[in-house]
A = this chain, B = another copy of it.
Amino acid sequence: MPLPAPIYHLHSPCSSCNLAELCLPADLSANEMHKLDELSTVKRSFARSDYLYRSGDKFRSLFAIHSGSFKTQILHEDGREQVTGFQMAGEIIGLDAISTDIHACDAVALESCVVCELPFNKLEALSREIPLLQRHLHKIMSREIVRDQGIMLLLGSMRAEERLAVFLLNLSQRFAARGLSPTQFQLRMSRQEIGSYLGLKLETVSRAFSHFQSERLINVKVRTVEILDLAGLQACLNNTR
């Protein structure tokens, strides 16, 4: 079980893993880098199924995922649950809580994880001092909005197999961005969790996997996935039913 390497705009080695997604493309001065390094002194480890935070918790910090991956989910009182995202190394988690100072969802570790805590007060203070950081924080939040709207499109107007194809292609891209294989990877989440994320039942997810395999688009054995035909998966989406 190789842990995903935390490579994502990391131009400083990683004393400041906190910088992960936050790290600016444009270079900061040494002094600015230093301040950014000081931002997150606390690193925490989590085992599979540990909660990073729970819905209702007081918000104090964002978290930069140093290694491992999480799911975020909303639990509706009537038992309905919706997985709202899967986050991996180099991504920032907790943005939903800024709105009310209370976390709006649960974040659960899907495997062993290490995260850096980014106290939000300090992050705001620093981003007043460093305009590039401010802009970057805004971009991260906006990116999350765009991502969510993409999922609305998926949930609102795609068929089961299209949804799974989008899901696999997205994972593929994200692994590639971390220097991992875009065509061979381990799923860290169950069929049930994938289904919840994609608005499908777990049986439907399983059937779609099986169908892709029979079409020779992928090889899948439980949580081991090999993409055989990226273009073919892509083509699933263009078949306007």
Q: Does A52 contact B (CB under 8 A)?
A: no
Least CB distance from A156 to B in Å reads 4
Least CB distance from A87 to B in Å reads 13
Q: Mark A113-133, 1 if CB is under 8 A from B, else 0.
A: 000000000001001100100
Residues of B within 8 Å of A105, CB to CB, are 149
Partner of A141, one of B142, B158, B199: B142
Partner of A82, one of B135, B142, B152: B152
Q: A76-B2, A152-B148 are in contact. Are A124 and B134 (CB under 8 A)?
A: yes
The stretch among A10-18, A43-51, A94-102, A212-220 that forms the contact with chain B is A94-102
Q: Name which of A148, A196, A199 has the most chain B CB atoms within 10 A of its CB.
A: A148
Least CB distance from A207 to B in Å reads 18
CA gap between A102 and B224 in the complex, in Å: 37
Least CB distance from A210 to B in Å reads 22
Q: Mark A66-104, 1 if CB is under 8 A from B, else 0.
A: 000000001010111110100000000001111110001
Q: Name which of A79, A155, A240 has the most chain B CB atoms within 10 A of its CB.
A: A155
CA gap between A64 and B138 in the complex, in Å: 18
Task: Count residues of A near B (Cβ-Cβ below 8 Å).
Answer: 49
Protomer copies: 2
Residues of B within 8 Å of A151, CB to CB, are 152
Partner of A148, one of B127, B138, B148, B196: B148
Residues of B within 8 Å of A238, CB to CB, are 78
CA gap between A134 and B81 in the complex, in Å: 33
Q: Assess whether B78 is in contact with A142, with CB atoms less than 8 Å apart.
A: no
Residues of B within 8 Å of A84, CB to CB, are 149, 152-153
Chain A residues at the B interface, C-beta cutoff of 8 Å: 2, 4, 74, 76, 78-82, 84, 95-100, 104-105, 124, 127-128, 131, 134-135, 138-139, 141-146, 148-153, 155-158, 196-199, 237-238, 240
* A–B complex contacts, Cβ < 8 Å, 6 sampled: A81-B157, A95-B142, A99-B145, A105-B149, A148-B152, A155-B199
List 6 A-B pairs, minimum CB-CB distance, nearest first.
A98-B142, A99-B142, A156-B199, A148-B148, A155-B155, A82-B153
